[in-house]
Amino acid sequence: MKANEKTNVMRVLDGKKIPYESHSYEADPTLTGEDIAGILKEDPDKVFKTLVTQGKTNAYYVFVIPVRAELDLKKAAKVSGEKSIAMIKQKELLPLTGYVHGGCSPIGMKKQFKTFIHETAKDLEKIFVSAGKVGYQIELSPQNLFSVAGCIPADVASMDN
């Protein structure tokens, strides 16, 4: 990453004076979240992915979960107060959030949606989330992420290691 290159996520954090560290890696669409954790030399349980869903009421919800975990749609529906919830189609992601698949961040979406983060995040000192562009991650304290993205800790994932 060029020293002066900033993503929208970084500009949001800078504007709110929230400390973070940025990390970049060679963007490759075949990389999984676990691959990215390996590139960052970090525990995959500290590297989180951002998933966007839509409830039965047509409301949108964001879920931030460890890269090794799977979103549990029943738990997600329960915490969001929906009868059911489903992942949005990949083609809907950019117009809805301003982010592409693989570069979706809970920070700085076009519109702020109700955001849930897996409860394990609150026990970590630092977590990693996308910086809003494929090949870029930011590292920050979960508490700072909670405050800037309005994250609500909840049990929303199945953690099959």
CB atoms near residue 60 (< 10 Å): 19
CB atoms near residue 4 (< 10 Å): 5
User: Which CATH code of 3.30.365.10, 3.50.50.60, 3.40.50.300, 3.90.960.10 fits the domain covering 23-158?
Assistant: 3.90.960.10
Confidence of residue 30 (pLDDT cuts 50, 70, 90): confident
Three-class DSSP labels, the chain: CCCCCCCHHHHHHHHCCCCCEEEECCCCCCCCHHHHHHHHCCCHHHEEEEEEEEECCCCEEEEEEECCCEECHHHHHHHHCCCCEEECCHHHHHHHHCCCCCCCCCCCCCCCCEEEEEHHHHHCCCEEEECCCCCEEEEECHHHHHHHHCEEEECCEECCC
**Spatial separation of the C-alpha atoms in residues 86 and 60, rounded to whole Å:** 10
Model confidence pLDDT, tens digit, residues 59-117: 999 999 999 999 999 999 999 999 999 999 999 999 999 999 999 999 999 999 999 99
What residue segments make up the domains of the chain, in order of their start? 23-158
Q: Quote the pLDDT of residue 52.
A: 98
- What is the distance of C-alpha 103 from the center of its chain? 9
pTM (predicted TM-score): 0.94
N-term to C-term CA, the chain: 32
Residue scoring higher pLDDT (141 or 29): 141
The torsion defined by the Cα of 19, 140, 95 and 27, in degrees rounded to 10, comes to 110
In percent, the amount of the chain with pLDDT more than 90 equals: 91
**Spatial separation of the C-alpha atoms in residues 73 and 160, rounded to whole Å:** 15
Q: Quote the pLDDT of residue 4.
A: 58
Q: Quote the pLDDT of residue 29.
A: 80
Q: Quote the pLDDT of residue 160.
A: 65
pLDDT at residue 2 above 70? no
Q: Looking at residues 33-52, what average pLDDT do you find?
A: 96
Q: Quote the pLDDT of residue 161.
A: 52
pLDDT at residue 1 above 50? no
Q: Looking at residues 31-39, what average pLDDT do you find?
A: 94
Model confidence pLDDT, tens digit, residues 108-149: 999 999 999 999 999 999 999 999 999 999 999 999 999 999
